[in-house]
Each structure stands twice: as C-alpha cells, then as structure tokens.
Structure 1
Amino acid sequence: MSLPAFADLLERLIFTPGRNAKLALLRRWFATQPDPDRGIGLAAIAGELSFTLAKPSIIRELAAGRTDPELLAMSHDYVGDLAETVALIWPEADPRPNRPPPDLSEVVETLELAAKADIPRIMADWLDVLDAGGRLALIKLVTGGLRVGVSARLARQALADWAKTPVEEIEEVWHGIPVPYRPLFDWLEGRAERPDPKDVPVFRPPMLAQPLETADIAALDHTAYRAEWKWDGVRVQVSAGPGGARLWSRTGEDYSAAFPEIMDSLDFHAVLDGELLVMREGEVAPFADLQQRLNRKVVGPKMLREYPAGLRLYDMLFDGTEDLRPLPFDTRRERLEAWFARVKPRAMDLSPQVAFVSLDQLSALRDGARAAGIEGLMLKRGDSPYVAGRPKGLWWKWKRVPLSVDAVLMYAQRGHGKRSSTYSDYTFGLWRQDENGGRELVPVGKAYSGYTDQELVWLDRWIRNHTTGRFGPVREVEKELVLEVVFDAAQLSGRHKSGVAMRFPRISRLRQDKPAAEADLLETLMAMVENRPEA
C-alpha cells in the first residue's frame, strides 16, 4: 500500500475528536492494509520507528534549496511546525515524475540501508512524487514527529479491539516482537500460536490505583488494607533475566539508557514494581531533581554524581520464571522481602509499610505527608492479586490536598491532535519586584488541563482577541486574565527562570472577577516550596 494511504490515516486521526473514533480508524487500518505496511504504520504511531540518519536539519536544508530561505523561515515562524511548513511550501516538480509514491515498507527498507550522503537525494525524490498530505506523512514518519493524539497504549488497545483479544495479552509480548510485527498479526489472525518472548525482558501491564474519594472512605474496611507512602517519583518496572534487562515506565516506555546505575544492578532474574527516585544517602530528593534525569539519552558522570537515582520497591511480579501476580498482596510482599534480603540488589530499597490502627490515624498521616515531601498514601488490600489496569476497590491512592495560586495568563500555544487548532496550553506567571522597585510578571508554570470544554472555547477566543505578539506557534497575550492554578507541590528548580517548579499544575477556574494586579506574588509560591533550605 502506498504512502498516501498512511497519510490519509494520519490526517483523519488528527482531525477526528474522541477516543472511540480514533480507535475505529486504527481498527480499519489493521483490517484493510497488507503486511508489512500495517505493522509499519502501527510502529510509527506507537513511536517504535527510528531513523537515525534522517534528521530534521536535512529536511530544512532541502526545503531551503528548493525555495526562498527567507520565505521558508517566515513560513516556519508562522506555522510553527517544520514538517507541515515543508509539506506546504515544497514546489511541485515540473514535469512531475512519472513514478508511483513509495510504499511504507519501501521507505523503511531504503532508509535502513542508505548511506548518510544519499539521504537528501532519496528524500527529495520521494517529496517530488507526493502531494502535500503525503509529504507531511513522509516527513513525520522519518523524523519521528507524529502527533496525532494517539498514544502507544491506545494503538495497542485498537489492535486488541480489532483482534478481540485482551490488550494485556498483547502488551506482554509486544516488546519481544520486532517491527513489522508479523508474528503478532499471525497470532491475532489465527495462523500461529501466541508468540513466546521467552527470556526477553518484556513489559507487563501494571496495576494502578483508584483515587480515594469521600464516599469510598465511608464504606472502607480499613482492616483489610495495608498502607504505604505514595512517593513523589516515577512509577517503573524492572524486568531482568537471562535474555537481558530493561527499565520500563508504567506506560511501557524504555527508560534504560537514562539510568545506567539502575541497569548495572540488574544481575538477577525477576520482575519488580517500584518508584524511580533521586536519592541521596537514603533520603528522597524533590521531583525536580528527578526531572534532570528523565528523557536523557546520554548521562554523564557529573549528572550521575549530582542526581543519583535509586529504585524503591513496591511489589514483585515474577521471581525467576514463577508468576507471582495471582498471589495475594501479603504473600507477594513476603516474597519480595525474602528476595531482597537474599539478593541485596544495589541502588534499591524497600518501600516501608505504614502501621495504623484506624482511618483517623491514616488521615492524620496523610495530612502530614506534605511536610515530608510525600504525595500521600497508598492503600492495598492484603488479599488483592496483581491485576493489570485500574480495578476498583483493590488499591487506593489517597493524595494530600492540592495547593493553589492565582496567576496571570502570559502566553498560549496550540495543542496537539484534536486541539491542534485551539490555544489550549497556557503559560502563567506571578508578580515579583523588579530592579527598579516596580513589579513584573515572571513565568512560573504551564498547564494544559483542568478546564471544561466550554472554558476552552472561551479561552481560545479570548487569546485570539488579546494577542500582543507572535513567536511561531506561541502567542503572547495582554496580561489581564487571572487563572486559579492548583498543583500538588512546589520545589526549587534551577531550570526555571522563577527558580521554582510546580508539580502537576492544572487550571482550577477562570478568575474573570479578579484584576491581574491582585494575582499572587512569587514569594507566595516560594513559601510553599518543600525543598527550601533552612534560613
């Protein structure tokens, strides 16, 4: 199947709102496209394709050679996306080459075998035979810039729906099958047995907790539950054995390269569930420190020394080849403690269980969690098996009450997917004194959630009517609108101009009743910082 079919899928995904509609589009792709193209399209959408030689800079240089460089720069500044700009501005070849567009498989095979010096010519030849939609799809495909509102998890869910197979079964073999997933499709279409990843360190879908609400507390039998702290890090899964080792995020993203000190400790055969943290002498550092390590492909000695990572273990899924997930939590905890005492894994410790005798005592512990830099509590039924997904009533997360400030909207940016034409990402600021004794707004955070659909429509219209400057996809607005922003924590951060970072900021409400001059001061936010050094 030619690349235009994939371009059509991408366009429909971008402009199709709603999860169910996107799932339907993906199911149709799996049902109608041939191998290997349907598997390649699945890999691209799931973020599993990578072409190391096809850099965005090559695309930019090609476009600059075919068009006026100044026009290209101005167009890129206005559109805000290089792939979309080049797809629109690329001149039609005259005469247009008399050859068909490439198949997805042709693109992949050609780029995998091509020398670096040949990449510009190959890309130009393909761009010449494609229309604007095909060019956009090609550039996004080879540069890894797909943003169509579909996560890897949603893509696997669509595959599961199409095959009428539990998504958990697909996820347990997914990372053991190479692109274009022929053994996977053979199994799902009944031509072969389920693939056996054997000792490959595959990802197992995690068990997640439900938020504990007031109504749930009233019906809770606290004696059936065990309590643990909810640490402010990143939930991860370690999979190690004879076939290798991996460190997975809770969504199946491979974190291995970013945390070599964890990987160096995986000289055992087990699958473990825990929290990734920066730890110094056994003490948990603020989440802002962990952010220094996330999403890095290369970690140098200085980073390892200043931001040492560790793994705080919660649970044990496999002990060797034995699957412990059907066992009760209490049994799995005993197995984890015995394994930890026996193996003594480096860069790891056990998350302690919290003793309590009543819900009132638990509530008091939760209320005091903020002072200790902890997100709250986890409650786990002692008899609960390890079940993928978010089953109701087995595990609860009881987070502390969020903090809030009134901030001023400063900048807005278009979103992605179904929000690509709407200003839905908001940068906001607080007041501080400037060098001349006056006041200035300084950015303190960015939020893109918390508002209703009706509020989003109103905000988008307000932003367009109050724009004072444009910087590519970003608009600067009049400093008039106050937003109430709630967040889980505030921490000192050298990465931010304000010197402080918010944890999970979201818009609570629009304060159209409040003048911008009455928004909060930066010192108000600073007073909420958890990792502030003693005066």
Structure 2
Amino acid sequence: MKPFATLLDRLLLTPSRNGKLTLLSDYFRDTPDPDRGYGLAALAGTLDLRGIKPALLKELALEKLDPVLFQYSYDYVGDLAETISLIWDGGRKERVADTDQPRLGAVIHAMNSLGRTQTLGAVRDLLDHLDHSSRFAFLKLATGSLRIGVSARLAKQALAEMSGRDVTEIETLWHGLQPPYEDLFAWLEGRSEKPVLATPAIFHSVMLANPVEEGDLDKLDPADYAAEWKWDGIRVQMSSFGGTRKLYSRSGDDISGAFPDVIDAINFEGVVDGELLVGGTSRSNSATRTFSDLQQRLNRKSVNSRMISDYPAFVRAYDLLFVGDVDVRGETYLNRRERLAHLIESSSHERFDLSPLVAFDSWLQLDHLRLDPPEPVIEGVMIKRKDSVYQAGRLKGPWFKWKRDPFNIDAVMMYAQRGHGKRSSYYSDFTFGVWTQGEEGEELVPVGKAYFGFTDAELEVLDKFVRENTVERFGPVRAVRAEPGFGFVLEVAFEGINRSSRHKSGVAMRFPRISRLRMDKLPRDADRLSTLTAMIGGKD
C-alpha cells in the first residue's frame, strides 16, 4: 500500500499537469505487478472493491466515535475517507514500519475474496494495521472517490510517456482488458506482443471538436466545410463485430445494458459514431425529445419494458470508423459520410437515422441558423472540414462546435454544502432559487444547483457569506438568509431548460453554472419562475 499511498499524497500536492504525469510515469515504471495495475485501475475508475460500502465504513467509524461527534467531524472535513482516517487510531502508539505494510495487490485480493460476514472484521483489522497515509489511501479506494485531479485520460497519457507508445493505441486496447493489466504492462515494456482482446467489439478513441472562438472562422473558407446540427443528447459509439454488439459513451464506458432496444437493432458490422437520443428518428416522423427524457435511462445497468416504451432510444449517426473490419478513418469526411448513409439506410428506421447536413453559403448565414434552429433540442451546429480524416483527440482546425449562446438568469442563493477534495473546507455547492407567488405571498422556489463557474477568489467571498448568514442546518447543508432585501444574488448561465415533474419548480436546467456574483443586486431584483417557464415556451 505504501507506494500507492505516497503517490496519492504527492498527486494531491502537485497542481501542474506535467508534474502529475511525471509522478504517474515514475509509479508505473518502478512499481511491480500486480500493484501498479491495481493502482492504475483505481486512478482510471475501473477498480472494484465489491464488499466494502460507505455504510460499512460508517459503522466502523461509529465504533470509535460518538455519532453526533462523527457527524460534526464529517460535516467539517467533507470527505468520508479523510474523516475516518483522521479519527482512527487503531490502538497503536508506535509508528508502523513501511516494510510491515501490506502490498496493494494483496489487499485487493484479500478484500475481494471475503464473504459478507467476514468483511467488517477484516476491514477493521486492516485499518488498525495500516499507517495513516496508507489507511487514507485504502479508504479512498473503498469509497471510490479519489478526487486528486487525475483523469483516466491522464493516467493513459502517463502510460504512453513511460513506454513511448501512442496514447491512442493504448486507448484502443483499454476497454478489452481488465485489472491488474499485466498483459498491458508486458506489452508496454516490450516483454510480450500486443494483447489480443477477448471481444472484437472494442471502443475506439473519438474525434473531438474545438469551440468556435472569436476570429476562428474569419480565416476559413465556408466552401471547405460542411455543417450538421448539434443535438442535445450524449455522444456514443456503436461497435459490432463477430456477433458482439456494444454501445459506448464518449469516454468509453459500456452502456449497452441500459439500451437493449438499440443493441438488438444493430444489424451491421463496424463502428459508428453518433448521438444517443430519446424520441423518434426523422425517418419515423416522431419528435426528438429533451435531455431530461434521456436522463431517465442513463446510469442504469438494465431497464424494463415500460421504461423502453416510455423513453424509446435511438442513435443519430454522425460518422463511420469501420465498415466490417475495414478501417475507413483515413478517408475524407464526405467519403465516410457516403458510406454511412448506405449503412443507415439498410438499418432499423426506428432506431437509427443519419444526422442531416445544414446548407449554408456563408458564416453569417450559418450563424443565423445556429441562433434559430428548427427544433428546441438543437444546441447549435457542428462544422467539419470536408476533406478531414477521423483522428482521435481534439485537433485544431478540422472540426468545430458552435453552440447557441447560453441562457442567463439572476437567482438567489438558498442553500450551501461543503465540497470535496481540496474544496472540503469550503461551502462550494450552491442551490439557488427564483421568485414565485406562493400561498402567503412572494416566495423563493429552488430551480437548480451549481458548483463551478467561479474563481478561487470568488469562492472565498461565497464561503464567507454562507458562514456569516446561516439561518438553519440540515446535516451537511446550510440554509442561508434569503429575503427580498437581503441575500446573495448569483448570475446563472445554463445551456437549456425543460419542463420537469421531478422538481418542485416544474423546470430543469441543463448544465447550470455560476457566471457572475451580482453583489450589486438585491434578491428582490432576481428573476421570477415565470421568466424560466417563458424560456420553455419560446422553445415549444
């Protein structure tokens, strides 16, 4: 455990990306198998400690501490793993020698081999035996929330730097391999051939677009580019080979189980890039529905027939990577699209359609279309160079995304909660509301929650206001003073808005974030719920 614990400590104190890459590369190079593979899995979010749940850890913590004192401690620290590691003394007074610490691989194997009745005692004994930093590392693994500023992509980039291999090649293999990745490390170090994947329907790294910035389009000829609508769903990849069919998110997560209706309709072999949506395809003459409808089916391991019927899913195809086992990524965008059109035409009209092209002659004309799209679920336009090949990553020039301007409202802070990781000592998650007519007059109704968009300096201002103006506590949540003449007004930007029966206000925002602190305004000057519902009306 000690090398992994040391890595976590150093990553927490290293803000720069290059610094983190160096630490990760050194760890992967110097740590033996299977420890480094389990460390990689933890960093990439693929490690599973099956029998250890937060409830079990809290039960152990309450053996050490009074429940009220534990809740105060947890509220103050803001992170379960850190709270327990701080309060746990294990009855030891002497320092635990580094050589006496168990290896990460041994810990993972031991924990995953335990029966349900054995887990509590085994975790208690392990926490007693580990030193403070190793205990903290183990608890972070168990809770599955490292929050150290390392993404799966950064971990893979570190593997590339360690080995000299291309990160795209590593990502192509990634989803066909399992922890502790011993075959992967053997190939990276030149000790064996490239691993042969167990399933042929693998994920391939996607090509990404850059946002249009001021002056970008002035240098480009509109005749060299094609445009498509940008739909309000999620980017997916359909991969089908040898009878195996998979649906992946843009990050490579296998989401096939939540969308059996899409999987069952795949009648081709190859790899298709597209947008997962709910509603009906253009070929079935049904309306495409909102992201809120799609959310009903996301993050589920399986769905029932009622869910499939109420929220029918389909894929709007953008691009083609493989036809059968033929790699067409090196062909031009227009050639790939022509191939894709033939494939989609012969597929299920209920589950697949082709993303339509948007005709335009000038950037000004496309700008007008972007701002006034034909359907409310369109977020903007995608701009793709006609001769562009399909390359993984975000290259500058071939593809652009040009989104509609975000919506903005002025709202009032109502509740605040502590953040996690480096924000665990700050109130950084804010629930905000707008005014509406209640039974006893004007009242605030919550309409959303945001935890980003502000600077560190602005966070200091927000946190100070919460601490000085708390009027009620609900566990880790604080209600703050919010009256017509006193409170904190936030300018909130968001990408879209829809009706929602799940929220008291009846509306749901898409990607809300705090764009400005409006200390120049009083809460009475904030927007009303009718303003938000009118935005929905403008979309209908």
- The TM-score, its normalising length taken from structure 2, stands at 0.91
Alignment correspondent of 1:335: 339
Counterpart for residue 484 of structure 1: 491
* 1:518 counterpart residue number: 525
Find the counterpart in structure 2 of residue 429 from structure 1: 433
Match of residue 319 from structure 1: 323
CA contact (8 A) 1:326 1:386 kept: yes
Amino acid in the other structure paired with 1:153: R
Partner of 1:362: 366
Contact 1:265–1:345 (Cα < 8 Å) also in 2: no
Inter-CA distance 410–162: structure 2 relative to 1 (3 Å threshold): farther
> What residue in structure 2 maps to residue 34 of structure 1?
32
Judged with a 3 Å threshold, the aligned counterparts in structure 2 of structure 1 residues 268 and 196 are, in CA distance, closer, same or farther, namely same
Matched, 1:448 2:447: no
SS across alignment from 1:284: coil
Distance 1:246 1:181, change over 3 A: same
**CA–CA separation in structure 2 for the residues paired with 1:178 and 1:66:** 37
Aligned to 2:6: 8
**Distance across 2 between alignment mates of 1:530 and 1:185:** 55
What is the distance in 2 between the residues matched to 1:398 and 1:45?
33
> Are residues 467 and 38 of structure 1, via their aligned partners in 2, closer, same or farther at CA, if it must alter by over 3 Å?
same
Q: Count matched residues.
A: 530
Could you tell me how far apart the structure 1 residues matched to 2:250 and 2:460 are? 33
1:325 aligned counterpart, secondary structure: coil
**Alignment match of 2:477 (pick from 474, 493, 497):** 474
C-alpha separation between the residues in 1 aligned to 2:67 and 2:516?
44
Any residues of structure 2 matched to 1:25-174 within 5 Å, and which?
A: 25-93=23-91, 100-174=100-174
Amino acid in the other structure paired with 2:514:
I
Aligned-partner residue type, residue 382 of structure 1: K
Residues 59/27 of structure 1: CA separation in 2 closer, same or farther (3 Å cut): same
Aligned to 1:184: 184
Q: 1:510 deviation in Å? A: 1.4
Render the CA deviation track for 1:97-118: whole Å, top value 9, x for unaligned. 9993321111221223222221
Q: How does 1:179-258 map to 2 (within 5 A)?
A: 179-197=179-197, 199-242=199-242, 244-258=244-258
Deviation of the 1:63 alpha carbon: 2.8
2:79/2:420 contact within 8 Å kept: no
| Percentage of pairs with the same residue | 52
Secondary structure in 2 matching 1:92 = coil
Deviation digits for residues 258-294 of structure 1, max 9, x if unmatched?
Answer: 2222222234321110001111463210111111221
Deviation of 1:49 after TM superposition, in Å, equals: 1.0
Counterparts of 1:368-517 in structure 2 under 5 Å?
A: 368-369=372-373, 372-436=376-440, 438-479=441-482, 480-517=487-524
Counterpart CA distance in 1 for 2:213 and 2:117 is 59
Q: 1:281-333 CA deviation, whole Å, 9 max, x = no partner? A: 63210111111221122323332222111111111111111111110000000
Q: After superposition, what is the alpha-carbon deviation per residue over 1:154-211, rounded to whole angstroms, capped at 9, x for unaligned? A: 2212222232332111101111222111121122222223324375322211111111
Q: 1:461 deviation in Å?
A: 3.4
Q: Distance in 1 between matches of 2:262 and 2:193?
A: 35
Please report how far the alpha carbon of residue 403 of structure 1 lies from its aligned counterpart in structure 2 after TM superposition: 1.3
Inter-partner Cα distance in structure 2 for 1:69 and 1:183 = 46
Matched to 2:453, the amino acid is: G
Shift of 1:471: 4.0
1:56–1:84 Cα change, 3 Å: same
- The alpha-carbon deviation at position 468 of structure 1 amounts to 3.4
Checking the alignment, whether the CA contact within 8 Å between 2:78 and 2:420 is kept in structure 1 is no
Q: What is the CA–CA distance in structure 2 between the aligned matches of 1:531 and 1:333, rounded to whole Å?
A: 33
Give the Cα–Cα distance (whole angstroms) in 2 for the partners of residues 78 and 419 of structure 1: 11
Give 1:343 deviation, angstroms: 4.0
Provide closer, same or farther for how the CA distance between residues 370 and 348 of structure 1 changes in structure 2, counting only shifts above 3 A.
closer
Offset of residue 388 of structure 1: 1.0
Structure 1 letter corresponding to 2:20: K
Greater displacement, 143-152 / 37-46: 143-152
With over 3 angstroms needed to count, the CA separation of the structure-2 counterparts of 1:475 and 1:370, relative to structure 1, is farther
2:269 aligns with: 269
Q: Return the letter of the residue paired with 1:8.
A: T
* Structure-2 change in CA distance of 1:16 and 1:422 (3 Å): farther
Maintained 8 Å contact 1:277/1:285: yes
Rounded to whole Å, the distance in 2 between the matches of 1:450 and 1:61 is 36
Compared with structure 1, are the counterparts of its residues 530 and 156 closer, same or farther at alpha carbon in structure 2 (3 Å cutoff)? Answer: farther
Task: Report the secondary structure of 1:283's partner residue.
Answer: coil
Amino acid at match of 2:82: E
Unaligned runs of at least 5 residues, structure 1: none
> Could you tell me whether the CA contact under 8 Å between 2:331 and 2:389 is conserved in 1?
yes
Shift of 1:377: 0.9
8 Å Cα contact 1:486-1:507 kept in structure 2: yes
Offset from partner CA, 1:196-235 (integer Å, 9 cap, x none)? 4375322211111111234122222111111111001101
Larger displacement relative to structure 2 (494-503 or 456-465): 456-465
Classify 1:217/1:427 alpha carbon distance in 2 versus 1 (closer, same or farther; 3 Å). same
Q: Deviations over 1:438-480 (max 9, x none)?
A: 2222221122332234323333333333333444443333331
| Equivalent-residue separation in structure 2 for 1:4 and 1:499 (angstroms) | 50
Q: Following the alignment from structure 2 to structure 1, what is the Cα–Cα distance between the partners of residues 511 and 489?
A: 19
TM-score (norm 1): 0.92
Q: Which moved more, 1:192-201 or 1:495-504?
A: 192-201
Q: Which whole-Å CA distance do the structure 2 matches of 1:25 and 1:466 have between them?
A: 42
Matched-pair contact (CA < 8 Å) for 1:490–1:530: no
RMSD: 2.4
Could you tell me how far apart the structure 2 residues matched to 1:508 and 1:57 are? Answer: 36
Aligned amino acid, residue 293 of structure 1: R
Task: Please list the CA deviations of residues 92-144 of structure 1 after superposition, one character each: whole Å capped at 9, or x if unmatched.
Answer: 23688999332111122122322222111211111110133322322221342
Q: How many angstroms does 1:56 deviate by?
A: 2.0
In 1, Cα distance between equivalents of 2:93 and 2:215 = 70
Pair 1:34–1:531, CA change in 2 (3 A): farther
How far, CA to CA, are the matches of 1:447 and 1:40 in structure 2? 33
Does the 8 Å CA contact 1:370/1:400 hold for their aligned counterparts? no
